[in-house]
Amino acid sequence: MEPRVTDPVRILVVEDESAIQQFVQDALTEGGFAAELTGSGEDALSRFRHDRSKYRALLTDIGIGAGPNGWVLARKIREIDPDFPVVYMTGGHAEEWKSQGVPNSILVEKPFAPAQLVTAISQLLNTGSPSA
Amino acid sequence: MEPRVTDPVRILVVEDESAIQQFVQDALTEGGFAAELTGSGEDALSRFRHDRSKYRALLTDIGIGAGPNGWVLARKIREIDPDFPVVYMTGGHAEEWKSQGVPNSILVEKPFAPAQLVTAISQLLNTGSPSA
Amino acid sequence: MEPRVTDPVRILVVEDESAIQQFVQDALTEGGFAAELTGSGEDALSRFRHDRSKYRALLTDIGIGAGPNGWVLARKIREIDPDFPVVYMTGGHAEEWKSQGVPNSILVEKPFAPAQLVTAISQLLNTGSPSA
Amino acid sequence: MEPRVTDPVRILVVEDESAIQQFVQDALTEGGFAAELTGSGEDALSRFRHDRSKYRALLTDIGIGAGPNGWVLARKIREIDPDFPVVYMTGGHAEEWKSQGVPNSILVEKPFAPAQLVTAISQLLNTGSPSA
Amino acid sequence: MEPRVTDPVRILVVEDESAIQQFVQDALTEGGFAAELTGSGEDALSRFRHDRSKYRALLTDIGIGAGPNGWVLARKIREIDPDFPVVYMTGGHAEEWKSQGVPNSILVEKPFAPAQLVTAISQLLNTGSPSA
Amino acid sequence: MEPRVTDPVRILVVEDESAIQQFVQDALTEGGFAAELTGSGEDALSRFRHDRSKYRALLTDIGIGAGPNGWVLARKIREIDPDFPVVYMTGGHAEEWKSQGVPNSILVEKPFAPAQLVTAISQLLNTGSPSA
C-alpha cells in the first residue's frame, strides 16, 4: 500500500532530562514530526529492534544515564540499518564527534534553536542535495 | 528595480490529489512561500513557459495523471532553465530518482513532514553551502 | 558550566532598512533564534569585538550605509574567528558572492521566504552533513 | 572469495572516435584502471546486461553514432543498477547535463587532461568525502 | 568548431620561486595539463584580461612579490569571470583562506605532493560530484 | 621556518600483507607521497604518538592481525588529533564503514586502482571543495 502523506514521520528521541525532552518534542511537533521519547539508550535499542520500520531517524543525546551512550547507540543502530539517519545533541562533547560519530550524521550543539533540529533531520531524510 | 523582501517567493506545485495539495500548501505557507497549484504536468509546463520569472522552484509529484510525469516535466523545465530548482515528492518511486531525476535536485519521500519540503526548497534556493 | 538548551542562540543581524529588520527578526524568532539588530557594519564589528562569544552567526545585508559593506564586514569577522558562520542577504549583488564572499558562507537572494534564513543559519551551525 | 588488490578495476568506455579511444585508454591505464572499449551505446548496454559485475563504472561520450546516446545509455544502466558510477565526456553538450544527466554523476568537458578522467572515476568509486 | 581532446588544458600558474615553478610544472605536465608560468600577480591579471578563454584555471601562490597577492588576484579574476576555478598554494597562510579566499576554491598547503595539485584542479574543472 | 615544497608528505600506511604493501607503496610514490609502512595497528599508534607531526594522513587496512583493527585505530588517532585525514582500504568490510568509520573519512574498496588511493588522500589533504 502506498504510504499516505498524513502518516506520522516518527523520530526516536533519546534524552534523559525532562526539560530538554519537552523542548525537543515541541521543536519536532512544530516541524510536523512525531517524537517518541525514551530516557535510555538500552530502551531505544530495544524499541528499534522490535519495530525498526516504525522510525525514520534517531535523535540522541550523548550522555544518557546508564547503558550505551549516544555514540555507542548510533553505532549499534547503524550495524542493524547502515543508512539510518542519526542526529546527535550535545553540550560538552562536540569535539568527540570526529572520533566517535558515525559518517553521514549531524551534530547539533547546545544551546540550539528548535529550527536546527528540524533542519538537521530534514536534511538527512531528504535524498540528494544542491552540491551537484 | 531592486526586489522587495516582501515580494512572494512563488513555488510551482504539481500534485493531483487534493488532500496532498492542501498539505503542501499549508507547509509552504508556514515557511513563508507562496504556492501556485496545478494538477497536471502539461499545465505546469505551459504556465512556466508563459512567465518563467514568476516562479522560483518546482515541487512536483511523480505520478500526475495524464501528460508528462514528474521526471519528464523536470527535464523539460531544465531544458528551458538549466539551473531551475527541482524537488520531487513520491511514495513508491524513490529509487527511480537515481535514473530519472535531474542533477542537483532533491527527492522527498512520502510520508514526509512539512519541514522536509520547506528545508528542501530552501537549500536549493540558497547559494553556497557549509561544505567549503 | 554546561550550556543549557534554553540559552539564546543569538544571531548578529546587520541591516539598515527597518522593514527588512522587522521581517528578519520575525523569521529568526519563529525559528527559535534571538536576533540582535544593528544598522551599521562598524557597529556590528565593534559589538563582535567586545563580546564575540555572545554571537553564534552573522546575518548581513550587503549595502549597509556608511562603514564597511557586508563583504568587508564578513572578512573582518573571519580574520578574528576563521570559522564564524556567515549568511549574506542581497537583492542586486548576488553574483558578487563568487568574488567577494568568504568560503563556507551562504547567500540568500531577495525576495526570500523566512524559512530560507532559518535553514541557512541552521545548516551553518550544525556540524556534519548528509554528503558522506 | 575476498577480492585481490591486483584484480582489474574495469571501466566500460563508450566512444566512437578512435583518436579519443586511444587517449582515454592511455589515461585510464596510467591511473591503473582497465578500459574496455566499445563504439556504440547498444553494444555497451548489451555487455553490461550480460555481465554487470564485470564493470565498476561507465565512461561515456554523449554523441555515439547509432543507438542510444550517452544520456539515454546512463539512464538505462541506472535503471538496472541505481548506484552505478557514471562519467560523461562531451565537447558541445555540457549544458545539457543539468536536464539530461543522472544525479551523482560527473561531466568532463573536452578538451580535458587525462588526470580529470582518472580523478572523476576515483571520486565516484570511493565511498565518503571530505565534507562531513 | 568542436574542441579536440588533444587541445591543451592550460593552467595559469603564479609563483615567484623558481624551484617551486619547476615542481609545479612537472606536476601539471604529469597530469596532462599545460602550465603557463608567471612570477607576478599583475602580469597574471594582464595575461588573463588579454585572452581569458586561453586559460581553464588559476593556480596561485599567496605571497608573490610586488603587485596583488594571491588573495587579491583571485578576487579580481572572479570579478571578471565569476565561475573561474581557483587553487591557492601556501606554506604559512592556510588559515587566512577562511577570510581571504573566494568561495568554491581549493587551498593546497605546502609541502604538498604533485598529486594534490592535479586532484584539486581536476575537481574544480569537472562538473558535478558524488554527493548527490 | 616555512615548509619547503620538496619536504616529504608522509602517509602512515597500516597493512599486513606484503603484496598489498608493495602495491600501496608504488601507488603513493607515483603520486609523489612518501609511504611509511607498518603491519600492526599497535605499532602505527605508537609511531603516531611518538611524532604525530611527522604524518599527514592515515591509510589503513581493516583486518590487520593482532591489536586494534583499522576501525579502532582510526578512532584512537582521531581522539588525539580530531581532524586527522583517514582513508580505509577493505575487501569485505565496506558496509561496516557506515557504523564503524569516522566522519570525514574515505573508504576505498578492493580491488582498487592506484589512482583511487592517491585521489582519496589528496581530497582529504586539500582544503575546500567545489561544492560552494
Do the chains contact at B98 and D103, CB–CB below 8 Å?
yes
Report the chain A residue with the minimal C-alpha distance to residue F79.
A99
Q: What is the pLDDT of residue A85?
A: 97
Å between D1 CA and nearest CA of chain E: 29
Is a pLDDT exceeding 90 seen at residue D126? yes
| % of chain C at pLDDT higher than 70 | 95
Query: Which residues, 6 or more positions from A2, have their beta carbon under 8 angstroms from its beta carbon?
Result: B91, B92, B110
Give the best residue of A96, A123, A125, A131 to mutate against chain C (max C CB count within 10 A): A123
Do the chains contact at F103 and C128, CB–CB below 8 Å?
yes
Going from the C-alpha of C122 to that of each of A115, C28, C77, the distances in angstroms are 7, 11, 19
Q: For residue E19, give the nearest of D113, F53, F11, F7 by alpha carbon.
A: F7
Q: What CATH number does residue C93 fall under? A: 3.40.50.2300
Going from the C-alpha of D93 to that of each of B104, D62, D63, D84, E123, the distances in angstroms are 18, 8, 9, 22, 19
Confidence of residue A132 (pLDDT cuts 50, 70, 90): very low
Q: What is the largest CA-CA distance in chain D?
A: 44
Do the chains contact at E108 and F126, CB–CB below 8 Å?
yes
> What are the pLDDT digits (tens) for A54-107?
999 999 999 987 789 999 999 999 999 999 999 999 998 999 999 999 999 999
Q: What is the pLDDT of residue A65?
A: 79
| % of chain A at pLDDT higher than 90 | 87
Give exposure, E36-62, as e/b (b: 16+ Cβ within 10 Å): bbbbbbeebbebbeeeeeebbbbbbbb
Q: Can you read off the three cell numbers belonging to residue B109?
A: 519521500
Dihedral pair phi/psi, residue D93, rounded to 5°: -120, 20
D·E CB contacts under 8 A: 83
Do the chains contact at F126 and E106, CB–CB below 8 Å?
yes
Helix ranges (H only) for A4-113 are: 18-31, 41-50, 70-80, 97-100
Q: Please report the sign of the dihedral spanned by the C-alpha atoms of residue C21, residue C27, residue C30, residue C34.
A: negative
Closest Cβ–Cβ partner in D6, D9, D131 for F129: D131
Q: For residue E12, give the nearest of E50, E47, E64, E63 by alpha carbon.
A: E47
Q: Please report the sign of the dihedral spanned by the C-alpha atoms of residue D9, residue F75, residue A126, residue A132.
A: negative
Mean pLDDT over C114-122 rounds to: 98
- Interatomic CA distance for residues F97 and A56, integer angstroms: 20
Going from the C-alpha of A125 to that of each of A108, A121, B99, C114, D29, the distances in angstroms are 16, 6, 19, 21, 39
> What residues of chain B lie within 8 A of the CB of E128, using their CB?
103
Q: Can you read off the three cell numbers belonging to residue A68?
A: 550505551
Report the chain D residue with the minimal C-alpha distance to residue B106.
D103
Give the best residue of F99, F100, F105, F107 to mutate against chain A (max A CB count within 10 A): F99
Give exposure, F51-68, as e/b (b: 16+ Cβ within 10 Å): eeeebbbbbbbbebeeeb
> Are B14 and B58 a contacting pair, CB within 8 Å?
yes
Q: What is the pLDDT of residue F23?
A: 97
Is a pLDDT exceeding 70 seen at residue D3? no
Confidence of residue D2 (pLDDT cuts 50, 70, 90): low
Å between F65 CA and nearest CA of chain E: 30
Is a pLDDT exceeding 60 seen at residue D132? no
Domain extent at residue F94: 9-127
> What are the pLDDT digits (tens) for D56-67?
999 999 998 778
Do the chains contact at C104 and B131, CB–CB below 8 Å?
yes
Å between B124 CA and nearest CA of chain F: 12
Report the chain D residue with the minimal C-alpha distance to residue C130.
D132
* Neighbouring subunits of B (3+ Cβ pairs under 8 A): A, C, D, E, F
Is a pLDDT exceeding 90 seen at residue C75? yes
Å between C100 CA and nearest CA of chain F: 13
Q: Please report the sign of the dihedral spanned by the C-alpha atoms of residue E108, residue E113, residue E118, residue E123.
A: negative
Q: Which amino acid is at D17?
A: E
Å between D103 CA and nearest CA of chain A: 7
> Are B114 and B26 a contacting pair, CB within 8 Å?
yes
Q: Is residue C59 part of a domain?
A: yes
Q: What is the pLDDT of residue C83?
A: 96
Q: Is residue A59 part of a domain?
A: yes
Report the chain B residue with the minimal C-alpha distance to residue E128.
B103
- Interatomic CA distance for residues C128 and C132, integer angstroms: 9
> What residues of chain C lie within 8 A of the CB of F128, using their CB?
103
> What residues of chain D lie within 8 A of the CB of F78, using their CB?
none
> What residues of chain A lie within 8 A of the CB of B108, using their CB?
125-127
Confidence of residue E132 (pLDDT cuts 50, 70, 90): very low
Is a pLDDT exceeding 90 seen at residue C66? no
Q: Can you read off the three cell numbers belonging to residue F127?
A: 582544503
- For chain B, the domain total comes to 1
pTM exceeding the 0.80 threshold for the entire prediction:
yes
Candidate ranges A122-126, D92-96, E90-94; pick with highest mean pLDDT: A122-126
Is a pLDDT exceeding 60 seen at residue B132? no
Q: For residue A10, give the nearest of A31, A29, A36 by alpha carbon.
A: A36
| DSSP secondary structure code for residue E81 in this structure | S
> What residues of chain B lie within 8 A of the CB of E105, using their CB?
132
Q: Can you read off the three cell numbers belonging to residue D66?
A: 547509432
> What residues of chain F lie within 8 A of the CB of C87, using their CB?
none
Confidence of residue B5 (pLDDT cuts 50, 70, 90): confident
Q: What is the pLDDT of residue A3?
A: 66
Query: Residue A118: helix, strand or coil by DSSP?
Result: helix
> What residues of chain E lie within 8 A of the CB of A129, using their CB?
131-132
> What are the pLDDT digits (tens) for B35-76?
999 999 999 999 999 999 999 999 999 998 778 999 999 999
Q: Is residue D3 part of a domain?
A: no
Q: Which amino acid is at F21?
A: Q
> What are the pLDDT digits (tens) for F10-21?
999 999 999 999
Q: Is residue C46 part of a domain?
A: yes
Helix ranges (H only) for chain C are: 18-31, 41-50, 70-80, 97-100, 114-125
Mean pLDDT over A103-122 rounds to: 97
> What are the pLDDT digits (tens) for A10-40?
999 999 999 999 999 999 999 999 999 999 9
Query: Which residues, 6 or more positions from A73, have their beta carbon under 8 angstroms from its beta carbon?
Result: A14, A41, A44, A45, A58, A60, A64
- Interatomic CA distance for residues D77 and D62, integer angstroms: 15
Q: Is residue E2 part of a domain?
A: no
Q: For residue F32, give the nearest of F108, F115, F88 by alpha carbon.
A: F115
Is a pLDDT exceeding 70 seen at residue F130? no
> Interface of chain B against chain F, CB under 8 Å?
128-132
> What residues of chain E lie within 8 A of the CB of B128, using their CB?
103
Q: Is residue A120 part of a domain?
A: yes
Q: Is residue C132 part of a domain?
A: no
Lowest mean pLDDT among B77-86, F82-91, F121-130: F121-130
The pLDDT mean for chain D works out to: 93
The pLDDT mean for chain B works out to: 93
Confidence of residue A130 (pLDDT cuts 50, 70, 90): low
